Amino acid sequence: MSVLEARNVSYSYDGKREILKNISVKFETGKTYAILGPSGCGKTTLLSLLGGLDSPTDGQILFNGEDIAKKGLAFHRKNNVAFIFQNYNLIDYMTPAENVALTSKLPPLPILERLGITKEEAKRNVLKLSGGQQQRVAIARALASESRVILADEPTGNLDEDTAEEIAGVLKESAGRMNKCVIIVTHSGELAKRADEVFWLKRGGIYRGEG
Amino acid sequence: MNFSKRAFLYILRKKWITLGLFLLNFTVAVFLVSSFGVLNASKMLSKDIRTSLGAAFYIRAKTEISLNGSGETEVIKSGVNIAQSSIDEIMKIGEIACYNPVNYGFAKSDGIRFIPGEGHSPESDMGAVTALRFSALAPDFADKTIELTSGDHITGSDRGKILVSEQLASLNHLSVGDFVTLTHAKLGETDGEYVDEIPVKTAFVKVKVAGIYRLNAEDTAPKPTAGLAENVIYASIDVLNELKESEAGIYTGEVGFFIADPSELDEIIRQVESLKSIDWLAHFIRANDFQYSQIADDMIALGGLTKTLLVCVSAVGAAALVLILTLCVRGRMHEAGILLAAGISKREILAQFLLEALFLTVLALIFSHVVSLGVSGLLERGLFGETPELLSAKALNSGTDRGGYMKLGGEKILLIYLCQTVAVAASTILSSVAIMRLKPKEILSEMS
């Protein structure tokens, strides 16, 4: 059974330019999905709708078969999904450990260590870490939350090739081990190769591709 | 992680912003308290000056000058006749510090020889008596024509007390504390001779010399003994009653009323003139606020200037505080977006921002309160430390409390602090609301 589903979803800005046209797509736990497409095709918009950052103009987003609008988008964001952004989006006055503790009641150090952040690094100011380390903290924050779905928007977009490769591996491996559903929006073909399933977004429609 | 912990971490880690907001709140609070202190001081000082200058009005007998049948001018003066009940009515109007009724008469004494005047004889060996409640308020004392050199002035509660001139005291070897017995007398004229119209003495009063005064002005005009300034006896109001020359509760000389605040003089007079218990055909009111009139315009201008300055300081301070707080909150859109994406509710984010702002405000207010006390003290010494010693009608009775001009009451300080706290809370909420009204996606779009 799908954990997250977009059913007949359409989205337009100001009711004029329709970005997404009657899209239907399902996502399951334990799998990694990549959504590819040219710039401006609506990848990030779809991710925002799946994550409850915005509401579709038409159609529904279902979590475990229930419309997320019923319990409220804030509830969906808090309990069902976690985000990883291209620019990490960490709270700059918190340490890595505190950033992870922001959305989780679990002790942050074990998961940070599992992702390669040492105890010392976990207590430093988060901005003193490298880009790769900051993205590891962002991944740790997403994994530590009780959310079953992780939504990642260009998670390796700001990283060099080697680090991007490393981060992609960490994300897939950890999410798989924790039986989470990972949905990655990316331009990167390399990252898409690691996904279990790939979707293409073109001219407002979504098409299944090869993993 | 709850909002209070996030607020605590923000305050702890964002040291420069925290310090800046603390200092801003602190400075605005010190400015506001000091400015209101200056306003308070200017009001108090202005009142003190007005009180010190005082003002008075006198109910006096009307005088008419007319020509008689033989073509000579004739002065017709109706006698003053004011009852205590009328005075009691007047005293209920406005803030009248005291009243000073005056009765005039004459007195003789076996223990006193008066300074001889024109046509002096044993019969005319008498002095004029001015009986009143407050000798210090007698016009001659007030304008320093005469001056008390030893002893004390006669005040409202005194009974059986007199003040005599240095010349009279010297001639009769009188000192402060001595007792003499006075009897009634009335100066008359028979066949060109000054006579006592009360030859048989039936009224006597034992009085104590309470003070001795000096005459600062010399009058060489020929006058009978009873007309010489040196022979004038200032007595407590009961003395002439005891000598049966006046009736208790009825005043036949003028009655003076002294008010603390000259700015109220016109209104008080207006109300007094509407009293029906006084025969206004025979009496009139003379106001005396000359000194106040001279400086009133300057005082009003100064008061206006102080208020304008205060409004400017408050407005600039409040505007700076609101503007900087708004900028600070707007600058946290990125953080708000992250928190929203993490599922933290808008209400919790607002609570965090509000808690931080209020914590820093309260902390700043506590520190500013201590500093404001010092600043107020310095300003008071600098601005008001050299205020000359002032004398007021009120001071005659109770003295004037001076100093502490800049000290604001607890309620006023609390009100200032409350206003500042409300301004901080309101600007934090308003600027937060502007962010919170955006959808999380819009915030995140603005972030990237």
Q: DSSP code of B409? A: P
> What pLDDT, on a 0 to 100 scale, did the predictor assign at position B396?
44
Report the range out of A180-194, B165-179, B318-332 with the highest average pLDDT.
B165-179
Whether B152 shows a pLDDT value over 60: the answer reads: yes
Report the range out of A92-96, B40-44, B431-435 with the highest average pLDDT.
A92-96
Distance, in Å, from the CA atom of B74 to the CA atom of B61, rounded to the nearest integer, reads 16
> What pLDDT, on a 0 to 100 scale, did the predictor assign at position B389?
41
pLDDT range class, residue B159, cuts 50, 70, 90: very high
Distance, in Å, from the CA atom of B446 to the CA atom of A12, rounded to the nearest integer, reads 18
Q: Which strand (E) or helix (H) includes residue A208?
A: strand A205-209
CB–CB contact B346 A103 (8 Å): no
Q: What is the mean pLDDT of residues B417-433?
A: 86
Distance, in Å, from the CA atom of A109 to the CA atom of A121, rounded to the nearest integer, reads 10
Contact B402, B59 (CB under 8 A): no
Question: Taking CB atoms and an 8 Å cutoff, what residues of chain A touch B447?
Answer: 87, 89
CB–CB contact A78 B342 (8 Å): yes
Q: What ipTM was estimated for this complex?
A: 0.81
Whether A210 shows a pLDDT value over 60: the answer reads: no
Q: DSSP code of B137? A: G
Please tell me which of the candidates B13, B343, B346 has its beta carbon nearest to residue A93: B13
Classify residue B119 as left (phi > 0), alpha (psi -120 to 50) or beta.
left
Domain ranges of chain A: 28-53+72-209
Burial class (CB in 10 A: 0-12, 13-18, 19+), B32: buried
Question: Taking CB atoms and an 8 Å cutoff, what residues of chain A touch B346?
Answer: 74
Distance, in Å, from the CA atom of B28 to the CA atom of B169, rounded to the nearest integer, reads 65
> What pLDDT, on a 0 to 100 scale, did the predictor assign at position B250?
87
Question: Taking CB atoms and an 8 Å cutoff, what residues of chain A touch B334?
Answer: 89
> What pLDDT, on a 0 to 100 scale, did the predictor assign at position B345?
81
Q: Is the dihedral of CA B109, B110, B116, B122 positive or negative?
A: positive
Please tell me which of the candidates B1, B337, B444 has its beta carbon nearest to residue A101: B1
Distance, in Å, from the CA atom of B217 to the CA atom of B62, rounded to the nearest integer, reads 28
Distance, in Å, from the CA atom of B185 to the CA atom of B199, rounded to the nearest integer, reads 8
Distance, in Å, from the CA atom of A199 to the CA atom of A205, rounded to the nearest integer, reads 10
Q: What is the mean pLDDT of residues A67-94?
A: 86
Report the range out of A46-55, A127-136, B279-288 with the highest average pLDDT.
A46-55
Question: Taking CB atoms and an 8 Å cutoff, what residues of chain A touch B6?
Answer: 102
Round the average pLDDT of chain B to a whole number and report it: 82
The token pair that represents B134 in the structure block? 């407050």
> What pLDDT, on a 0 to 100 scale, did the predictor assign at position B74?
63
Give helix B333-341 / helix B410-436 axis angle, nearest 10°.
60
Distance, in Å, from the CA atom of B386 to the CA atom of B389, rounded to the nearest integer, reads 9
Q: What per-residue string of b and e applies to B295-320 under the rule 16 or more CB within 10 Å gives b?
A: eeeebeeeeeebeeebeebbeebbee
Q: Who wins on pLDDT, B422 or B43?
A: B422
CB half-sphere exposure, B407, CA atoms < 13 A? 5
> What pLDDT, on a 0 to 100 scale, did the predictor assign at position B105?
93
The token pair that represents B299 in the structure block? 């005082």
Contact A129, A139 (CB under 8 A): no
First to last CA, chain B: 25
| Residue keyed to tokens 């001018």 | B73
Above pLDDT 90, what percent of chain A?
A: 11
The Cα-based distances of B338 to A72, B39, B248, B403 in angstroms read 18, 48, 90, 57
Above pLDDT 70, what percent of chain B?
A: 84
Q: What are the tens digits of pLDDT across the range B320-365?
A: 888 888 888 878 888 888 888 877 888 888 899 999 989 999 999 8
Touching check for A93 and chain B: CB below 8 Å? yes
Contact B225, B125 (CB under 8 A): yes
| Interface size, chain A vs chain B, as Cβ–Cβ contacts under 8 Å | 70
Q: Which strand (E) or helix (H) includes residue A48?
A: helix A43-51
Q: Which long-range contacts (CB under 8 A, 24 or more apart) does A188-193 make?
A: A188/A154, A188/A156, A188/A157, A188/A164, A189/A36, A190/A164, A190/A165, A191/A34, A191/A155, A191/A156, A191/A164, A192/A34, A192/A36
Distance, in Å, from the CA atom of A12 to the CA atom of A14, rounded to the nearest integer, reads 6
Residues 6+ apart with CB under 8 A from B43: B303
Whether B302 shows a pLDDT value over 80: the answer reads: no
Q: DSSP code of A54? A: S
The token pair that represents B178 in the structure block? 């001595």
Distance, in Å, from the CA atom of A168 to the CA atom of A162, rounded to the nearest integer, reads 10
Whether B126 shows a pLDDT value over 90: the answer reads: yes
Full-model pTM: 0.60
Q: What are the tens digits of pLDDT across the range B211-227?
A: 999 999 888 888 899 99
> What pLDDT, on a 0 to 100 scale, did the predictor assign at position B291?
61
Q: How far is CA A1 from the centre of its chain?
A: 20
Whether A145 shows a pLDDT value over 60: the answer reads: yes
**Cα angle at A184 between A178 and A185, to 5 degrees?**
170
CB atoms < 10 A from the CB of B209, how many? 22
The Cα-based distances of B173 to A59, B108, B147, B176 in angstroms read 119, 17, 19, 10
Q: Which residue, A207, A160, A208, is CA-closest to A188?
A: A160
Report the range out of A192-201, B85-94, B201-210, B244-253 with the highest average pLDDT.
B201-210
Q: What is the mean pLDDT of residues B133-156?
A: 88
> What pLDDT, on a 0 to 100 scale, did the predictor assign at position B390?
39
The Cα-based distances of A94 to A124, B7, B8, B148, B335 in angstroms read 8, 11, 11, 80, 11
Distance, in Å, from the CA atom of B39 to the CA atom of B383, rounded to the nearest integer, reads 12
Distance, in Å, from the CA atom of B183 to the CA atom of B80, rounded to the nearest integer, reads 24
> What pLDDT, on a 0 to 100 scale, did the predictor assign at position B395?
44
Residue of B17, B338, B345, B445 to mutate for A, most A C-beta atoms under 10 A: B338
Q: Who wins on pLDDT, A128 or A88?
A: A128
3 state DSSP class of A151: strand
Report the range out of B67-71, B228-232, B345-349 with the highest average pLDDT.
B228-232
CB–CB contact A53 B334 (8 Å): no
Report the range out of A137-146, A174-183, B114-123 with the highest average pLDDT.
B114-123
Question: Taking CB atoms and an 8 Å cutoff, what residues of chain A touch B440?
Answer: 48, 52-54, 73, 77
Q: What is the mean pLDDT of residues A16-31?
A: 87
CA of A83 vs chain B CAs: smallest distance (Å): 7
Whether B292 shows a pLDDT value over 70: the answer reads: no
Contact A175, A134 (CB under 8 A): no
Q: What is the mean pLDDT of residues B134-159?
A: 88
> What pLDDT, on a 0 to 100 scale, did the predictor assign at position A39?
81
The token pair that represents B3 in the structure block? 């909002």
For A153, phi then psi, to 5°, come to: -105, 105
Distance, in Å, from the CA atom of A35 to the CA atom of A195, rounded to the nearest integer, reads 9
> What pLDDT, on a 0 to 100 scale, did the predictor assign at position B400?
42
Residues 6+ apart with CB under 8 A from B412: B36, B40
Contact A90, B337 (CB under 8 A): no
Q: Which residue, B113, B109, B108, B89, is CA-closest to B99?
A: B89
Question: Taking CB atoms and an 8 Å cutoff, what residues of chain A touch B341?
Answer: 51, 53, 77, 83, 85, 89
> What pLDDT, on a 0 to 100 scale, did the predictor assign at position B344?
82
pLDDT range class, residue B383, cuts 50, 70, 90: low
Q: What are the tens digits of pLDDT across the range A114-142?
A: 878 888 888 888 888 888 888 888 888 88
> What pLDDT, on a 0 to 100 scale, did the predictor assign at position A31?
86
Q: Which fold has domain A28-53+72-209?
A: Rossmann fold (3.40.50)
> What pLDDT, on a 0 to 100 scale, did the predictor assign at position B295?
64
Largest CA distance in chain B: 120
Contact B132, B142 (CB under 8 A): no
> What pLDDT, on a 0 to 100 scale, did the predictor assign at position B69?
67
Q: What is the mean pLDDT of residues A83-96?
A: 85
CB atoms < 10 A from the CB of B95, how many? 11
Whether B393 shows a pLDDT value over 70: the answer reads: no
| Residue keyed to tokens 């006046």 | B246
Contact A185, A24 (CB under 8 A): no
Q: Which residue, B164, B242, B246, B146, is CA-closest to B208?
A: B164
Residue of B444, B445, B447 to mutate for A, most A C-beta atoms under 10 A: B444
> What pLDDT, on a 0 to 100 scale, did the predictor assign at position B392?
43
3 state DSSP class of B389: coil
pLDDT range class, residue B254, cuts 50, 70, 90: confident
For B40, phi then psi, to 5°, come to: -60, -45
Residues 6+ apart with CB under 8 A from B400: B48, B51, B52, B390, B392, B394
Q: Which residue, B377, B357, B382, B356, is CA-closest to B30?
A: B377
